[in-house]
Structures are given as structure tokens and as C-alpha cells.
Amino acid sequence: MEIDVLGGIEAAGPVFRFCPSCGSRRIGFVAGRKWSCPDCGFLYFHNVAAAAGVVAEREGAILLLRRAKEPRKGFLALPGGFVEPGESAEDCALRECLEETGWKPDRLEFLASFPNLYEYEGVPYATCDSFFSARFDAGAVAAFAPEPGEVEEILAAPLGKLPWNEIAFDSTRRVLEVYLSAGETSAVQGD
């Protein structure tokens, strides 16, 4: 299943009912990306937000976090979150992983990026999610501590038995597919 990001983001149109600059009711949401006021010229770009996540593996199992809050509460996601102002995607991935699991990867390798749609408090955000791979070990498992209010449970799902119907986000599903197929390719090449 692929989410129609632009279709979802069109729903951001009604977020501003009045122009925040002149109060006009004629403010419009244009091309799924900007609010524009024909009366005073106000422009506000609802730009794509950057996010980063970690595909962490240990002995053929992938680290997944059960979400403790909306959106997609109860579903499974990778450690990750939104890039903060002034932050790189790599630093975001490390920070979010540490905050959410209590463990910080030693090393990251870029995997892929995918678009996603993230609806928060009634506002849809189109995102570009960058994913990095990492390895975790027994020491990491010992350090695991789910972030209160954010993460309900930390689990390691075998790559051959990933719970696809419980995955929270389209971008997560897509990067796991890429990770799996890359693993199969390298396994074939290694033979």
C-alpha cells in the first residue's frame, strides 16, 4: 500500500481559515504546498519536513518500537523522528534512537529515503524520511529503555517474519522492503 502524499496534504487546506496577516477569508492552499492570500500577498510554504530513522539489526532481527501515541498509536515504527533546526539527518537519527530506546548506534550507513505523510493534531505534513542502517549488540539490548509516553514496547522482529500489517508508516514498510532485498542480493553474491 502506498500513501498518496499529495492527496493527503491537500487536506492541509482548511487549516488556516483566515489570512494570518490581514484576516481575509480568501486565503487559499495552492498546489498542496503553500497558503497564499490574494488580498495582501501573504505567502506561507507548508514545506516538506525532514525526518530520519534507523534500521537496526542484530542476528537477523530488526529493532521495532510500538508507538505509545498518535498518529498510529499501537503500531510499529523504527527509531526515528523529525530533524530539528540546525541538525543533520544523521545526528537526528542518533538522537532519536537514543531518546526512544536508551541506546545510541556507534555507526550509521545511509540506506534510502522515502516520502511519507504524517498527520499530527489534525495537520497533515508531507515528510521526506531518510533511513540509516546500524547494528545493535547485547550491550544495546541491556541498555534498552522505552521512552515514556512515546514508546510502549521495544522488540526485535526476525527479518523473515516482519509484522507487515502492524507497520505504522508507508516509508517504514518501503525501507524494510529495500533492506530485505539488499540482504538477499548480498547473500546471493556471497555464495
Q: Which residues bind Zn ion (CB under 5 A)?
A: 19, 21-22, 24, 37, 39-40, 42
Contact 17, 37 (CB under 8 A): no
Alpha helices in the chain (DSSP H): 5-9, 89-101, 138-143, 170-190
Minimum separation from the CB atom of position 40 to Zn ion (A)? 3
Give the contacts of 42 (CB within 8 A, at least 6 positions apart). 19, 20, 21, 22, 27, 35, 36
Minimum separation from the CB atom of position 121 to Zn ion (A)? 24
Spatial distance between the Cα atoms of 125 and 163, rounded to a whole number of angstroms: 25
Closest to Zn ion by CB, 42 vs 75, is: 42
Closest to Zn ion by CB, 39 vs 153, is: 39
Minimum separation from the CB atom of position 25 to Zn ion (A)? 10
Minimum separation from the CB atom of position 30 to Zn ion (A)? 14
Closest to Zn ion by CB, 10 vs 21, is: 21
Task: For residue 10, give the nearest of 105, 82, 139, 117 by alpha carbon.
Answer: 117
Closest to Zn ion by CB, 6 vs 43, is: 43
